[in-house]
Amino acid sequence: MTDSKIMFDSKSKAKDNKQSKQQANQQAKQQAKLPAKENFSEWYHELLMTAEVVDNRYPVKGMCVWFPFGYAIKKNVYAIIRQLLDPDHQETQFPLLIPENEFMKEAAHIKGFEEEVYWVTSGGTSPLDVKLALRPTSETAIYPMFKVWIRSHADLPLRIYQIVNTFRYETKHTRPLIRLREITSFKEAHTVHATWEDAAEQVEVAIARYSEFYRRLALPFLVSRRPSWDKFPGADYTTAIDVIMPDGRTLQVGTAHHLGSTFAKTYEITYEAENGEQKLVSQTCYGISERCIAALISVHGDETGLVLPWTVAPTQVVIVPILLGDKEKVVAVCRQIEKELCSAQMRVQLDTSDERPGAKFYKWEMKGVPIRLEVGPKDIEKGVVTLVRRDKVKKAVPMIELVSAINKEADELQTALYTKAGNFHESKVKEVASIEQAKAQTLVGVALVPWCGEIECGHNLEDQVEANMLGEPQYLNFPEAACAVCGKKSTGRTYMARQY
Ligand code: ZN
């Protein structure tokens, strides 16, 4: 816990006697146990447990349990995804198990996944005739059904999505919400179109929706076209969204793939065109997983806990009564405020537990509650409430304007979070000219490197810089520069970073 927190803590109890003040400070100090954010990995693991997001103690490697509080964050985050997709996508659900014969049909695809698949090989004590794969992703579950669903051009475009768990036998070091063997919340969309161009347009739509999604989480991001050797297995191309984590490494938090007609050929998905001709469809798929929550927590959080944007906080406002003087009156006023805020559609908690105010402040800061209201006898006398934002901005607000004041502060807090995250993001991306500079920059963040686009130069870059190519930045233009490997002049660039 920071000094300012402790000072503030004691200030609110100015009337208390000295002994209890010391006790409160002691308590606050004991609770101050998150590691510094510079030790990102340690801080991250500790925060997930202390704030009760996910529990990493489940006895299967790479599988986590959502605490009810973490699950509440997840529900709010995924409500935004649903809101963004529902206007023109239909939500659906496909089975978890995929028969081996369907799973193995698409050669390029299976090559990308075969080392990661869990297989169900028996039912009770009887071996199964056909092995069943636990979906690592659902193309091979969904596309055989597309073959029977799609008949004519009138059935297109078809856009569906599901939010399901998927399984991948990760051999790399697993991390809660970041690298899992059970991905609990994979939102995968699958779309079918009459032409390649329509599918390309859909990829742009997907990236635009994802961009809006991350804006609502106040998270800045990079958009790039993955290099050909790192695209989704079976795709024509992959566009990806990455967030820069506090340690300068990037986390891929969304991808959109143009599948062309690769899967359409394999699964014989055709439609009758208006002239009666049978044609292969073009497809896309795009996904987001709980990594979006890992990014949300990591970018905004601080040493006192989660910092949740108003849009997704399970509790948006917490009311802490300062129980001095006429305690019943204080609680009655707090209840009145709670009622008023509830009817204004805010997610409110009134904390009437027996803990001291300092302990309550600590607890709700850890949970990332955007706005705390402190109500004591002095406030009531003056007709005000003490409002404290999660970013420590503090002010007295007249009780009669409380709802509008909270709405205003919530907006400003969202903007402040976005600005802070934006400044961090910008400080972590740097243009470089040479391999040496790229190497130095990728130790602390993302390097923007001149690249002629040749595959050989790309592989060379990855080997020599010892970092990954995220690929060509999208929607940006650059002047000509010399490729960091071959020196050829071009307007091409690539982001490079150490990736999670
Ligand atoms: Zn080159």
CATH 3.30.930.10 boundaries in the chain: 54-300
Tens of pLDDT, residue by residue, the chain (500 residues): 333 333 334 444 444 455 555 555 555 545 557 999 999 999 999 999 999 999 999 999 999 999 999 999 999 999 999 999 999 999 999 999 999 999 999 888 888 888 999 999 999 999 999 999 999 999 999 999 999 999 999 999 999 999 999 999 999 999 999 999 999 999 999 999 999 999 999 999 999 999 999 999 999 999 999 999 999 989 999 999 999 999 999 999 999 999 999 999 999 999 999 999 999 999 999 999 999 999 999 999 999 999 999 999 999 999 999 999 899 999 999 999 999 999 999 999 999 999 999 999 999 999 999 999 999 999 999 999 999 999 999 999 999 999 999 999 999 999 999 999 999 999 999 999 999 999 999 999 999 999 999 999 999 999 999 999 999 999 999 999 999 999 999 999 999 999 99
CB atoms within 10 A of CB 40: 16
CATH 3.40.50.800 boundaries in the chain: 317-409
Distance from Cα 451 to the centre of ligand 1, integer Å: 6
CATH 3.30.110.30 boundaries in the chain: 430-497
| Angle of the 402-427 helix axis to the 327-343 helix axis, nearest 10 | 70
Distance from Cα 482 to the centre of ligand 1, integer Å: 8
Distance from Cα 252 to the centre of ligand 1, integer Å: 25
Dig out the tokens for 167 from the structure.
Answer: 């399984």
Rounded-to-integer distance, Cα 211 and Cα 430, Å: 22
Top-level CATH class of 54-300?
A: alpha beta
Distance from Cα 450 to the centre of ligand 1, integer Å: 8
Fold classification of 430-497 (topology level): Translation Initiation Factor IF3 (3.30.110)
Distance from Cα 260 to the centre of ligand 1, integer Å: 28
Distance from Cα 108 to the centre of ligand 1, integer Å: 27
Dig out the tokens for 449 from the structure.
Answer: 């490197």
Which of 54, 283, 264, 260 lies closest to 188 in space, CA to CA?
283
Give the pTM. Answer: 0.92
Top-level CATH class of 317-409?
A: alpha beta
Rounded-to-integer distance, Cα 299 and Cα 288, Å: 17
Spatial CB neighbours of 196, under 8 Å, sequence gap ≥ 6: 258, 260, 261, 282
Q: What is the DSSP letter of 39?
A: S
